[in-house]
Structure 1
Amino acid sequence: MELQIKQHHDFKYVDEGQGPLLLLLHGLFGALSNWQGVVDEFARTHRVVIPMLPVYDMPLTRAGISGLVEFVEDFTKAMQLTEPATVLGNSLGGHVALVYTLRNPARVQRLVLTGSSGLFEDSMGGSFPRRGDYAYVQERVAYTFYDPHVATKDLVDEVFNVTNSNAKCLRIIAIARSAQRHNLTKDLGRIQAKTLLIWGLNDTITPPMVAHEFNRLLPNAELHFLDHCGHAPMMERPQAFNRLLRRFLEPAAATAPVGA
């Protein structure tokens, strides 16, 4: 289905389906469309909600992990999303999901992380995209995926346009630096929600060692790797990603021992 972007007050979002709540959070260079495969699969059985995180236009003084978590809190309040949710986050969105869970444990029933920051990330391959250099941006976007063909022209064009805006670049830099400072190593042990880690075995931004460390530090986590897959498994391996997510969300998963 084509994603329909809705607006409520200052919030733009996708809201599809009915049933248990899935709250999806995209990454720093991400978009609502990054979750297209999850919406297509799960809107038949769940209410899938994706807020558009204000990574490019939030006040510069709030541009960081804390500001984004406050945005998600404000969004869920404005949308009256009161039931405990399964919160999914990719890359920066995973970092936001983790801090949101730490601050609102009663509102998170389950947690799903894929390519999450919070421990370590090699943003854009170790360097920030240079303004005006389309070939360089194309190379860096392709670096996100195992298969560079996943980096479509539309996706590259979107990142290229972002990096050519001074105002947007300032916010991106501020958020990226905030994420690097906001290391969660000492905090993850407090998260009791059952957590599914789906990681690309070929992720070069948050490499497999990061997934293993999340699995070690989160008390109720289970880890699955997808081969031939980079930093955004829900985009690059959507069917395999959805199979793992479906199994995790099944009622039996709530009572099965971790790793069963």
Structure 2
Amino acid sequence: MSTEIDHGSTLRELPTDKGVLRYHEVGTGPPLLLLHGSGPGVTGWRNFRGNLPTLARRFRCLVLEFPGFGVSDPTDEHPMLAAPGAVVRFLDGLGLDTVDVIGNSMGGIIATQVAVKHPERVRRMVTIGGIGRNLFTPGPPEGINLLMEFTENPTRDKLVQWLHSMVYDPSLITEELIEERWEHATDPDTLASAKTMYGREAMRFRQEMEAKSDRAPYWATLHKVRAKTLLTWGRDDRVSPLDMALVPMRTIPDAELHVFGNCGHWAMIEQKEAFENVVQAFLTREDG
């Protein structure tokens, strides 16, 4: 397989009763669903394109683009609320009963929600930061505060500040990456959607609603996850600090944790080879 995988040739469309879901497909083998995180200019392709050449040697990689992030058709729901349903529609539309899942940050939260509600559909699950609850570090963390600042006042400088909070090694934040994210993040529809998630007013409202709600937060339901789970984390994550891993590590019944040193929030990018090796070993391990 070529080490170069093209955006256009892998892009697919799946019509559903709530609009078109777009995704990238490459490789053959057991189905592996990859779910992206949130943030300015994010897409599933940008999160995982560097990992596809390796993972597609063993898996049928399906990179879903969530509604509300500027690629798949938006719905009338809040993007974070729409995402779990989009995953189920996607699996149904492709006729997939059970998949392995890799979820980055928000994508990890969505993966756990699907695994709790539809345990028969997730065989094994890999999360990249993001899930759990910070126990020792203050919140919101640095990266989330910078994300809110950009959402409220979307300047190029604020985007650069946020991008730097995502990584341990600042050399990863290239001009090409900045321009790519800037162009997508400042699209009016994408920015409006981001404000529903990370505007300060939206964050305050969500906190108030959670305080009044009788529903348990997702992190309090992690004990219901039945899938074998690999939690991966950057030791130097400034978006979801490492102490967040303690809750899922302790409460998910069949979980293990791998921490990458010299690594921020994007473990799949910043520690690419190590991440791919650990994930492939986990997903292909014999059941026992």
Q: Is the 8 A contact 2:99 2:124 kept in 1?
A: yes
1:34, CA displacement in angstroms? 1.6
TM-score (norm 1): 0.88
- SS of alignment partner, residue 126 of structure 2: strand
Q: Is the 8 A contact 2:68 2:75 kept in 1?
A: no
- SS of alignment partner, residue 50 of structure 2: helix
TM-aligned CA distance change 1:242 to 1:68, over 3 Å: same
Counterpart AA for 2:91: T
Counterpart AA for 1:133: T
Sequence identity of aligned pairs in percent?
Answer: 26
In structure 2, what is the Cα distance between the partners aligned to 1:170 and 1:133?
Answer: 15
Picking from 64, 76, 93, the partner of 1:78 is 93
Residue 83 of structure 2 corresponds to residue 68 of structure 1: yes
- For 1:5, the equivalent position in structure 2 comes to 11
TM-aligned CA distance change 1:160 to 1:131, over 3 Å: farther
TM-score (norm 2): 0.80
Residue 62 of structure 2 corresponds to residue 28 of structure 1: no
Residue 182 of structure 2 corresponds to residue 160 of structure 1: yes
Q: Is the 8 A contact 2:67 2:79 kept in 1?
A: no
- For 1:87, the equivalent position in structure 2 comes to 101
Residue 196 of structure 2 corresponds to residue 190 of structure 1: no
In structure 1, what is the Cα distance between the partners aligned to 2:141 and 2:13?
Answer: 33
Bigger CA drift: 227-236 or 127-136?
A: 127-136
1:60, CA displacement in angstroms? 6.5
In structure 2, what is the Cα distance between the partners aligned to 1:56 and 1:191?
Answer: 27
Q: How does 1:6-155 map to 2 (within 5 A)?
A: 6-9=12-15, 10-29=20-39, 30-31=42-43, 32-57=45-70, 59=74, 61-82=76-97, 84-117=98-131, 119=133, 122=141, 124-127=143-146, 128=148, 129=150, 130-155=152-177
Bigger CA drift: 152-161 or 85-94?
A: 152-161
In structure 2, what is the Cα distance between the partners aligned to 1:33 and 1:159?
Answer: 9
- For 1:258, the equivalent position in structure 2 comes to none
Bigger CA drift: 68-77 or 228-237?
A: 68-77
Bigger CA drift: 91-100 or 117-126?
A: 117-126
In structure 2, what is the Cα distance between the partners aligned to 1:51 and 1:60?
Answer: 15
1:163, CA displacement in angstroms? 4.3
TM-aligned CA distance change 1:248 to 1:64, over 3 Å: same
Picking from 256, 266, 269, the partner of 1:222 is 256
Q: Identify unmatched segments of 5+ residues in structure 2.
A: 135-139, 211-215
- For 1:241, the equivalent position in structure 2 comes to 275
1:43, CA displacement in angstroms? 0.8
1:78, CA displacement in angstroms? 1.4
- For 1:202, the equivalent position in structure 2 comes to 236
- SS of alignment partner, residue 218 of structure 2: coil
TM-aligned CA distance change 1:198 to 1:207, over 3 Å: same
In structure 2, what is the Cα distance between the partners aligned to 1:109 and 1:245?
Answer: 14
Give me the CA root mean square deviation: 2.3
In structure 2, what is the Cα distance between the partners aligned to 1:43 and 1:202?
Answer: 28
